Structure 1
Amino acid sequence: MKSKVAPLEGVRVLNLGGGWAGRVAAMLLADQGAEVLEIKRPDRECRLEDALLERGKAVVTLDFRDTHGRERAQSLARGADIVIDNLGPGRAAGFGLDDRSIRARNPALVYVSIPGFAEGSPLAHTAAWEGTVAASVGVYTDIHALGPLLGGPPIFTAVPMASAYGGVHAAIAAVVGFAQRLKTGRGERIEVPLADAVLSAMALLIMKVDGQPRRFDLPPIDKAMTEVAFPILRQFHDEMSEEQHGRIRGYLATFGRPQFGNHRCSDGRYIFINAVDHVHHAKACLEVLGLLNDLIAEGMTVGSPYEEGGEGNNISYSAGLRPAWVARLKSAMSARFLTKPAQEWEGLLRKAGVPATVVRSTDEWLDVPEALAGGNVADLEDQEYGPVRMAGRYVSIEGSAITSPALRSRRMTDRFEWSTPRLQVAPTAEPPGKMLSGLRVLDLSNVIAGPAAARILAEFGADVIRIDPPAPQAGPRMTMWFGIDVNQGKRAIVLDLKSAEGRSVLEKLVRQSDVVIHNFLDRSAEKIGISDQQLRQINPDIISCQVSAWGGPHGGPFKDDPAFDPVLQAATGITQRYGTKDAPVLHGIASCVDYITGFSAALGIAQTLVSRQLGRGGAHVRTSLSMGAQLVQFPFTVASERAARIAEPSGQQAAGYGVHYQTYRTRDGWAFLACRARELGQVAGLLGATEPTEGALSEVIAGMTCMQAADCLRSIKTASIVPVRRLDELRACATLEKSEQFQSGEQHLAMLRTAHPSGYQVSLPLPTWYRLQSKAVEPLSAAHAPGSHTRSVLAEFGLSDAEVDGLLTRGVARESWSILKHYLPH
């Protein structure tokens, strides 16, 4: 029997070193068997997260300032398939390692550049620290659910969203670029700006649907309050007393959702539940608590989450509950949770299919036995730190000829040569098109992660067909409102896969497709005929992808439990770090875990596509929210007895990592200062501070505008101070009316406002996180309502008009959801 190979075996990757994002990208390629050489500066400080970031790589130490070091790096680049540049603006060119210099000798090279801000944009030459990028795109103002309403000082987060999301996007760009090279023999330069990468995660926070129904506002309060009163209150935030702030928070609490959030249990621990906007979850949660019958007797009902209007008493429509019912639910649920310990409630709720978790720290998550059993976390022997507990492989791929390799420790080496023969590619005369043109994808997933994976493939030109069931279980926020973003670029059909006839139609689609994506649990997938084994019997070369909630590389005891982004935040330490142990705080809606999980799935599909193009066949791709939750906080998902992790600023009062790296108040607003710790004295002197202390710096910066402070620091290339921006400010200056107005060399972010099938004007980010040298950034088609393309798609797959009519008559196929009266229910 022929042994299996790794999906990316034979692919050579050179990471020029630099920041976290490039190292994350290279790690994700090494995890799938690519030969990765990573260059390390001689003066780079060693830290515990290196054991994670450098796993599977050969690490060489080179000084680019030395002629010999530059020549060795240039020689390696000339033999590479992929080069990743995260060195900073203009630095690679100064060392002869830019794409033009390398591709002159290696024209088939895929070169991925990861600047902080897009080249040619106003911020292009700004020293782009992690915090600098985050401050510039609303992370410190809009991640907190009430931040956009209440204003106040920025809230720092240690979660490295720029590097995590930038790293995943860079890995996708590299692999998709290499897939194109395998077809055409042509190389490509792709730019992945970190600010744009963060915006890809913030899409649902910055998205604007003009005049949308109030139920989709967060919180769902009167629009006169959100559009008039709160903007005024935000301006006077600092002048208001704590009592006044408390009254405002009390008002907002009346619009809370007790079925979504933290509840203290008998042991003092918190349980987090996410039982809203769903056909079954709210009812099941109250049944487990023993409250459902009493609440119904008192006047509550169990209706549809798609209900419009109503009496404000529908348990399944949480955003529509009257304040009195919100208060009643909160009181009853809080009292009941205090009767058992958190771990017991977690077991009871999950057994009933309710997304729930004990709120844990990251250290506690790393020690969960079930996480170790599933491979969600793993132990790896490191040559410097000994046994290191870390996140497991983020994406797992298994096919008849390929398998993801076991995790491998990093290897320090002084060999400056490639160990594998270079893959030979014959150029073709294939006409230029989008990178994934001709790839057909069936998307059976819902909510965010799976749909986001399919949308990424659409951004590269894949033909994506969304298949919805006749009766959705998730509510309208998760299907329709989220879908405005994640279902762009897709055609939409409705098909009943619970019927034998519907499954027969699906077989026809699968035979003529390349990829199937879903987020069903194993047992549910098998019932409707989309398990990997069932799909492979229909189409042996199919690439199937499952996005689960808890599944690890080995599956694990949690793999059949449902969950959503906020649940995994709570389970893995994110909410505790953003808040405290006694007051965990949600780190954004969807912008933390969901999108990075979906993008990881897209990466796995692209890696499998490369393997298939190399003659290794199709395969099954798996990832989960539990893996995405660890990837987004990668520096903290490591533990060793020999070394401590980097510091973890936490809580709602956090300003940064220290005097040299934190938020400051300026004369015209808030700003974020970042520099090397050793440069603080020089920075303080240039700003006119009497000493390099927080007090002295705060005093002098408060008397300047942000621009004046930035002008003072221009002589230090590695220091910057930038305004802390809110997302509404970004949207106001970045929104275009026509995509043709976007100039990639002048803007570092862009949004497009257009008429939408929902009947509203919608503003969404343009996909500027991938900037190809050979292609302009283009918008995707809008997300249409379920079933909008049922008739035309089925005809395209060879069904006659009579056959389609019959399917529609029998309800096997449909052209709409009967439960959906409006695209966005009122």
Structure 2
Amino acid sequence: MPGRAAEPPAGPLTGVRVVELAGIGPGPFAAMMLADMGADVIRVDRAAEVRPERFGTPHPDLLNRGRRSIGVDLKADAGRRVVLDLVRDADALLEGFRPGVTERLGLGPVDCHEVNPRLVYGRMTGWGQDGPNAGHAGHDLTYLAPTGILHAIGRAGERPVPPLNLVGDFGGGGMMLAFGVVCALFEARAGGPGQVVDAAIVDGATLLSTALHGLRGLGMWSGDRGGNLLDGGAPFYDTYECADGRYVAVGALEPRFYAELVARTGFRPPSGDEDARLDPDNWAVDRAAWAELFGSRTRDEWAALLEPGDACVAPVLDWDEAPEHPHLRTRGVFVTHSGVVQPAPAPRFSRTPAVIRRPPPHPGEHTDEILTELGRSPTETARLRENRAVA
């Protein structure tokens, strides 16, 4: 794009250009990940959402950080042409509409590949581009429900518990889309043509459960919710309330870690030896004893005693406490950018560090700047605004 404003190089994806058709949840998360890694991401927001009076003020949606925004009416022919002009020099496009929507807008894979055959076209949906449910609405919870994952999350004898929307929207959805797009970019830069990445939450979330399917195949995971090693069934892999009403997390699965936990707490498990502690028939009595022990001190007292070392115990911190945890603070797991504390880009790179390059933009905040980069004159930009193709 001629005239593109110079920015300090940052991240392994510096030089990659991405067009993002504005959406919510997993799509913006994928775009955020790419922007954190240095990609130049332009977010195409709806023209109707542009509020110029808000430009220059912080936008609260952190998922939109790191990119610029142009306000476009995708239903206007002139607006569609603006997007295709962006696509012409882009490496990837991300969209999260229901199947068939971008095709009806004239911005589907065929339309975009006509102007840029090497484009990676990333699609984010819950159900995927095909199948009986492909055209249906849904949310994280209803995508997890058919996969078996939701059935497995919760306490024994109780109903399944929504795991926030981290497993579906962001882990199985947005992160898989970002991974898929980078894989396709790698192949395209090796000489291959562009292609479509069909990222579906049901696919990605199910993939995240691969290890549990392996445990089931080994006979090490029952179908009973809350009755297994990793779902709160085992008393040595659970949370416990402390004397001050706060909690600690215990994850002493392996024998040597459990032995250190027992030695440092002075606990005498009612079940007895190592083999006995792994027997689900002994878990209820052991859990009661552990609960009584952890209820004898405050959370921070237990953390001071057990967190240093290999006892695998950590304090359960709230949102405000987490950034101040010594380990997280030392590693910079949280950063403050534009006055807002937020998770830092991850993972880390030894030579091409990822950074937050700019705060989340308001819709349309960079319309003039982007149109200038596309070669539009002030007169042409004014005409587009008069026709309400952009805002």
TM-score by length of 1: 0.39
Distance, in Å, in 1 between the alignment partners of 2:9 and 2:131 is 46
Residue correspondence of structure 1 range 72-221 to structure 2 within 5 A: 72-144=82-154, 146=156, 150=157, 155-164=161-170, 165-205=172-212, 209=216, 212-213=218-219, 216-218=220-222
Distance 1:281 1:208, change over 3 A: closer
Name the counterpart of 1:64: 74
Name the counterpart of 1:364: 321
Distance, in Å, in 2 between the alignment partners of 1:65 and 1:166 is 27
2:343 to 391, 394, 398: 391
Amino acid at match of 1:377: F
Distance, in Å, in 2 between the alignment partners of 1:51 and 1:77 is 25
Gaps of 5+ in 1: 220-225, 231-248, 303-311, 382-386, 421-826
Matched, 1:279 2:255: yes
Distance, in Å, in 2 between the alignment partners of 1:4 and 1:283 is 49
Distance, in Å, in 1 between the alignment partners of 2:197 and 2:184 is 8
Distance 1:333 1:218, change over 3 A: same
Report deviation, 1:258: 2.5
Q: CA RMSD in A?
A: 3.2
Matched, 1:413 2:366: yes
Contact between 1:265 and 1:337, CA under 8 Å: does it hold in 2?
yes
Amino acid at match of 2:279: G
Range moving further from structure 2, 8-17 or 256-265: 256-265
Distance 1:266 1:37, change over 3 A: same
Distance, in Å, in 2 between the alignment partners of 1:322 and 1:137 is 29
2:353 to 389, 397, 403: 403
Name the counterpart of 2:33: 28
Contact between 2:252 and 2:312, CA under 8 Å: does it hold in 1?
yes
Distance 1:299 1:263, change over 3 A: closer
Name the counterpart of 2:63: 53
SS in 2 for 1:403: coil
Matched, 1:343 2:300: yes
SS in 2 for 1:111: strand
Distance, in Å, in 2 between the alignment partners of 1:12 and 1:417 is 15
Distance, in Å, in 2 between the alignment partners of 1:378 and 1:67 is 42
Residue correspondence of structure 1 range 534-553 to structure 2 within 5 A: none
Residue correspondence of structure 1 range 814-825 to structure 2 within 5 A: none
Amino acid at match of 1:356: V
Distance 1:348 1:406, change over 3 A: same
Residue correspondence of structure 1 range 601-680 to structure 2 within 5 A: none
Distance, in Å, in 2 between the alignment partners of 1:373 and 1:262 is 25
Matched, 1:260 2:230: no
1:12 to 4, 12, 17: 17
Amino acid at match of 2:278: A
Name the counterpart of 1:319: 278
1:290 to 238, 241, 266: 266
Distance, in Å, in 1 between the alignment partners of 2:288 and 2:155 is 22
SS in 1 for 2:107: coil
Q: Deviations over 1:214-233 (max 9, x none)?
A: xx1348xxxxxx6xxx9xxx
Report deviation, 1:390: 1.2
Distance, in Å, in 2 between the alignment partners of 1:158 and 1:279 is 31
Distance, in Å, in 2 between the alignment partners of 1:217 and 1:5 is 44
What percentage of aligned pairs have identical amino acids? 23
Contact between 1:365 and 1:371, CA under 8 Å: does it hold in 2?
yes
Contact between 1:266 and 1:341, CA under 8 Å: does it hold in 2?
yes
Distance, in Å, in 2 between the alignment partners of 1:50 and 1:88 is 26
Distance, in Å, in 2 between the alignment partners of 1:132 and 1:300 is 43
Residue correspondence of structure 1 range 400-799 to structure 2 within 5 A: 402-411=352-361, 412-414=365-367, 415-417=369-371
Distance, in Å, in 2 between the alignment partners of 1:151 and 1:132 is 19
Distance, in Å, in 2 between the alignment partners of 1:397 and 1:100 is 36
Distance, in Å, in 2 between the alignment partners of 1:69 and 1:331 is 64
Provide the aligned length of Structure 1 versus Structure 2.
352
Name the counterpart of 1:378: 335
Gaps of 5+ in 2: 1-7, 52-57, 375-391
Amino acid at match of 2:126: G
Amino acid at match of 1:359: V
Contact between 1:142 and 1:205, CA under 8 Å: does it hold in 2?
no
Distance, in Å, in 1 between the alignment partners of 2:210 and 2:178 is 20
